[in-house]
Amino acid sequence: MSETTSDGPRPVGPASPTATAGPVSPGPSPELAARAAALDAADPLADRRKAFVLDDTVYLDGNSLGALPAAVPGRLAEVVAREWGELRIRSWTESGWWTAPERVGDRVAPLVGAAPGQVVVGDSTSVNIFKALVAAVRITEGREAPANAPVRDEILVDAATFPTDGYIAASAARMTGRTVRPVPMAELADAVGPRTAVVLANHVDYRTGELHDLPGITAAAHRAGALAVWDLCHSAGALPVRLDEDGADLAVGCGYKYLNGGPGAPAFLYVRAEHQGAFDSPLPGWNSHAEPFAMAAAYAPAEGAVRGRVGTPDILSMLALETALEVWDGVDIEQVREKSLALTDFFLECVAESVPAGRVGSLTPAERERRGSQVALRCPGAERVMGELIRRGVVGDFRRPDVLRFGFTPLYTSFGDTLRAASVLAEVLAEVLAEHPAGG
Amino acid sequence: MSETTSDGPRPVGPASPTATAGPVSPGPSPELAARAAALDAADPLADRRKAFVLDDTVYLDGNSLGALPAAVPGRLAEVVAREWGELRIRSWTESGWWTAPERVGDRVAPLVGAAPGQVVVGDSTSVNIFKALVAAVRITEGREAPANAPVRDEILVDAATFPTDGYIAASAARMTGRTVRPVPMAELADAVGPRTAVVLANHVDYRTGELHDLPGITAAAHRAGALAVWDLCHSAGALPVRLDEDGADLAVGCGYKYLNGGPGAPAFLYVRAEHQGAFDSPLPGWNSHAEPFAMAAAYAPAEGAVRGRVGTPDILSMLALETALEVWDGVDIEQVREKSLALTDFFLECVAESVPAGRVGSLTPAERERRGSQVALRCPGAERVMGELIRRGVVGDFRRPDVLRFGFTPLYTSFGDTLRAASVLAEVLAEVLAEHPAGG
């Protein structure tokens, strides 16, 4: 565990398993309340909140499921009533359903620093990781290598990865005759070697919120002749991602977290232009065929990102995501990053001020350049604490064994929300610890 | 091409490439109109039509995209506004999102003759074919074989299969060290041998509408020690399917055709109970883990059909499908079959009466036991003919090079619709052939 401290004036401090009950929190100080009000008044993204359906809840779980964009219900009703209900089959051409995976992909592209034609939307993140890893292994197989070069028989995987990445990597390795080697992110750049085919890494750690060095690790992979596949689930829409500029080979990401596409929204797959010709999918469904309606017996892949498609795309969810992406129109992702850091700074500061020292420890790096858009706090009784927070209108989530996750979505989270979350957390911790002084 | 004739009093007859222009069709005979009215009046499923949003169009493309069930728009609006918009992340438990793939699977199960606990919904048909084929190969690998038995190194695939099945089979074969051998369905039962690992076959041919012998081919596969994987895309919801009774090992099917789940609705996967313990998925995403929220580094598969899950399920489309399945409440699939055959009989009879002999040929078997729920007609200029049909409110679809497909969905297609379709077809054929006597 990499315990870190906040950037605020007082350290959050490490969790103490022997913490004893303290007084009920007196609520936020007038100074913090004034700071929150001033920060909100100066927030250039404050008006984006109107683009979402929100209520009195402080919703800090947009890193798991983004809030509902206000335009989605109307658009989805139209898709159902008009495009499906009236036009029916004609909508595949007349309503642009057939080309939606590439069109929505091009809408995601600017958020991940990709020029058009390299992102396609569809299937789940897990399925896209499988496509990306197998295709990446095959690209390295297809390259000319020096006569005495060892076989590139290993896939390096972030040892702290979100589990599905590791499970799918193991399957991709098994099916391509490779092995998986888990490596801590901090050692990944040094671990890449002549036997490495592919590195699979998370841009932001789902648990700790740590932001990893995408350009540095990608460059290390390339120096060793390997490819880098990035999981952007916790960075796309949360902070600037520069896939083209930083040389990423392939990437996948989630449609339902910071992109607000709705529960189980389709994921996206980035295939760098220079790799598209060699992208050899393990899931060559008819939607990726060069001429799908020729119904040819032999497979011939289409050109471009469409090669990453598989079967018939899930239109209702795809078009919900397309509409959800409209909230990004005119938004500067650098401003989003600035606000995200200000929110997480402020949250850590408020927690440090409201929560007695030693009650919680932060897993999230204090250094801004190593922080994504969430704060992960450890405390005894975390599951119970999160249940109480949710009951009191502050929604984050719990991750075993003792982690409270708070995701900060700059498009709709205010500094006032942030202060309230910290204050309610302090209240709950005081009460829970009063009942169970040793935690639990 | 297996040209066949209708069961009606006059043969539809083979298409003639040298057909010459005939007179404009005079419209249906009073006798046929009276027959259609009488059949509709006696139809025990006639009231099901009210469960769908329909207009004046004669929609005969439910074999490609089912019509909109009337209950879906309201339910989807509720899912979006209440479950996503208000409850947000809490809906994974409180709204039953997490268990939807199995729950909706159990709703599909009776339509395919499966006892509960064997069907899971999610991902596209293509992705499910990949899971089923790789898992089936691994099941045969895991079995004890006699000392001198040859390696089961081939996957037999219906030679006329919908293309995606063949493409995915080729990938599954490549990734498991097998080869694919395409075999015409009529020869499949005899072709299965000691080297066969798996047979992948279509229950109903997507192009001709021919119904294949699921129990016979499955039994032949079993006699040879192989497994049978069935593609039910064109049979589930169209006619009785008896997976449990007929011994099918694995099966996949489509949510958006006869199940009316909406464009790109998730597909379903059937894993026979006796194979679930050995079902070793090539896509072991975190949703199929025994303890998904343990976030364990090592994969351990869940028990049961849930083992067929992969990543986060697509909730909007999944719940649209769940609601769409309500139209089956109280419906007897044997009645559906009886009406389906009556509709296709009647259509062929009307075509035979309205269309001058020699103008179209039927690809669909005349024998009821070999017919699914569609009629495929060949004629010169078929693409243009279908365009005109659609313009005149009769929606089927065109498949290259010269096939008109008409799908009959007994829950919402009437005999009056059927007669109108045949009459408009006769009109269009007369006009198109008048302009282009040699076809085109």
pLDDT at B26: 61
Q: Which of A106, A213, A231, A402 is catalytic?
A: A231
Query: Does residue A165 sit within a domain?
Result: yes
pLDDT at A12: 59
B127 to A285: CB separation less than 8 angstroms, yes or no: yes
State the smallest CA–CA distance between residue A342 and chain B in angstroms: 25
Q: What is the pLDDT along chain B (440 residues), one digit of tens a residue?
A: 333 333 332 245 433 433 334 444 567 899 999 999 999 999 999 999 999 999 999 999 999 999 999 999 999 999 999 999 999 999 999 999 999 999 999 999 999 999 999 999 999 999 999 999 999 999 999 998 888 899 999 999 999 999 999 999 999 999 999 999 999 999 999 999 999 999 999 999 999 999 999 999 999 999 999 999 999 999 999 999 999 999 999 999 999 999 999 999 999 999 999 999 999 999 999 999 999 999 999 999 999 999 999 999 999 999 999 999 999 999 999 999 999 999 999 999 999 999 988 899 999 999 999 999 999 999 999 999 999 999 999 999 999 999 999 999 999 999 999 999 999 999 999 987 677 555 44
Which chain A residues touch B65 with a CB distance below 8 Å? Answer: 84, 88-89, 92
Query: Does residue A224 sit within a domain?
Result: yes
Angle at B219 between CA B218 and CA B220, to 5 degrees: 90
Q: Is A118 exposed, middle or buried (0-12, 13-18, 19+ CB in 10 A)?
A: buried
- Are A312 and A176 in the same domain? yes
Residue of B nearest to A283 (CA): B168
Q: Which of B328, B357, B379 is the last residue of a domain?
A: B328
Q: Which two tokens stand for residue A186?
A: 């901090």
Helix-strand-coil percent breakdown of chain B, rounded to 5?
Answer: 45, 15, 40
Query: Does residue B75 sit within a domain?
Result: no
How far apart CA B128 and CA A265 sit, in angstroms, is: 18
- Are B399 and B305 in the same domain? no
Closest residue by Cα to residue B6 from B14, B329, B285, A213: B14
pLDDT at A439: 44
Beta pairing, strands A154-158 & A179-183: parallel
A-B Cβ pairs (cutoff 8 Å, strict): 256
Which member of B53, B123, B285 has the closest CB to residue A85? B53
Chain segment B7-18, per-residue pLDDT in tens: 332 245 433 433
Query: Does residue B416 sit within a domain?
Result: yes
In the numeric block, the tokens 């089979």 are attached to B169
Residue of B nearest to A59 (CA): B88
Q: Which helix (H) or strand (E) holds B353?
A: helix B333-354
Number of domains in chain B: 2
Q: Which two tokens stand for residue A208?
A: 């700790």
Residue B294 is part of a domain; what is its CATH number?
3.40.640.10
Backbone φ, ψ for residue B386 (5° rounding): -65, -40
pLDDT at A426: 96
* Percent of chain A surpassing pLDDT 90: 89
β-strand partners of A404: A377, A398
Contact A360, A378 (CB under 8 A): yes
Contact B397, B405 (CB under 8 A): yes
Q: Give the alpha-carbon dihedral of B183, A285, B2, B371, to 10 degrees.
A: 100
Most A CBs within 10 A among B53, B60, B65, hence the mutation to make, goes to B65
Spatial strand order in the sheet of A179-183: A119-121, A268-271, A250-253, A227-231, A196-202, A154-158, A179-183
Angle at B204 between CA B418 and CA A86, to 5 degrees: 45
Q: Which of A296, A328, A360 is the last residue of a domain?
A: A328
User: Residue A429 is part of which domain span?
Assistant: 30-70+331-435
Three-class secondary structure of residue B268 per DSSP = strand
B299 to A166: CB separation less than 8 angstroms, yes or no: yes
pLDDT at B146: 87
**Does B256 show up as a binding residue in the annotation?**
yes
Chain segment B347-397, per-residue pLDDT in tens: 999 999 999 888 999 999 999 999 999 999 999 999 999 999 999 999 999
Sign of the C-alpha dihedral, residues B288, B293, B294, B298? positive
Which chain A residues touch B90 with a CB distance below 8 Å? Answer: 390, 395
- Are A343 and A207 in the same domain? no
**Does B61 show up as a binding residue in the annotation?**
no
Q: Point out the annotated binding site of A for pyridoxal 5'-phosphate.
A: 125-126, 162-165, 231, 234, 256, 286, 312
How far apart CA B37 and CA B415 sit, in angstroms, is: 7
Supply the ipTM of this predicted assembly: 0.93
- Are A120 and A255 in the same domain? yes
Average pLDDT for consecutive 10-residue bins of chain A (440 residues)? 33 40 63 97 97 97 97 98 97 97 98 98 98 98 90 96 96 98 98 98 97 98 98 98 98 98 98 98 97 93 97 97 98 97 97 91 95 96 95 95 96 98 96 63
Q: Which of B328, B357, B381 is the last residue of a domain?
A: B328
pLDDT at B437: 57
How far apart CA B370 and CA B368 sit, in angstroms, is: 5
Contacts of A241 (CB under 8 A, 6+ apart): A111, A112, A113, A203, A214, A232, A235
- DSSP 8-state assignment for residue B371: B
**Burial call A158-178: b when 16+ CB within 10 Å, e when fewer:** bebbbbbbbbbbbbbbebbeb
Contact B157, B129 (CB under 8 A): no
Three-class secondary structure of residue B395 per DSSP = strand
- Are A320 and A339 in the same domain? no
Residue A428 is part of a domain; what is its CATH number?
3.90.1150.10
- Are B282 and B416 in the same domain? no
Beta pairing, strands A397-399 & B227-231: unpaired
pLDDT at B1: 35
Q: Is B94 exposed, middle or buried (0-12, 13-18, 19+ CB in 10 A)?
A: exposed
pLDDT at A440: 40
pLDDT at A124: 98
- Are A154 and A59 in the same domain? no
Three-class secondary structure of residue B269 per DSSP = strand
Angle at B151 between CA B148 and CA B156, to 5 degrees: 135
Beta pairing, strands A394-395 & A58-59: parallel
Contacts of A316 (CB under 8 A, 6+ apart): A76, A79, A80, B76, B262, B263, B264, B265, B316, B317, B320
Query: Does residue B5 sit within a domain?
Result: no
Residue B199 to residues A145, B125, B126, B191, B206, Cα–Cα distance (Å): 39, 17, 16, 10, 18
Contact B234, B257 (CB under 8 A): yes
Q: Which two tokens stand for residue A87?
A: 């036009």
- Are B274 and B297 in the same domain? yes
Query: Does residue B278 sit within a domain?
Result: yes
pLDDT at B12: 59
Contacts of A364 (CB under 8 A, 6+ apart): A4, A208, A209, A210, A344, A348, A371, A372, A374, A375, A376, A377
**Annotation says A345 is catalytic:** no
Query: Does residue B8 sit within a domain?
Result: no
- Are A108 and A236 in the same domain? yes
Q: Is B30 exposed, middle or buried (0-12, 13-18, 19+ CB in 10 A)?
A: exposed
**Annotation says A162 is catalytic:** yes
| Count of helices and strands (H, E) across chain B | 13, 13
Chain segment B333-351, per-residue pLDDT in tens: 999 999 999 999 999 999 9
A61 to B316: CB separation less than 8 angstroms, yes or no: no
- Are B305 and B183 in the same domain? yes
Angle at A12 between CA A11 and CA A16, to 5 degrees: 120
- Are A293 and A339 in the same domain? no
Residue A392 to residues A67, A68, A379, A419, A439, Cα–Cα distance (Å): 18, 21, 18, 14, 20
pLDDT at A292: 95
Which chain B residues touch A132 with a CB distance below 8 Å? Answer: none
Chain segment B306-315, per-residue pLDDT in tens: 999 999 999 9
In the numeric block, the tokens 């499910």 are attached to B128
Q: Which of A152, A178, A257, A371 is catalytic?
A: A257
Query: Does residue A236 sit within a domain?
Result: yes
- Are B138 and B196 in the same domain? yes
pLDDT at B5: 35
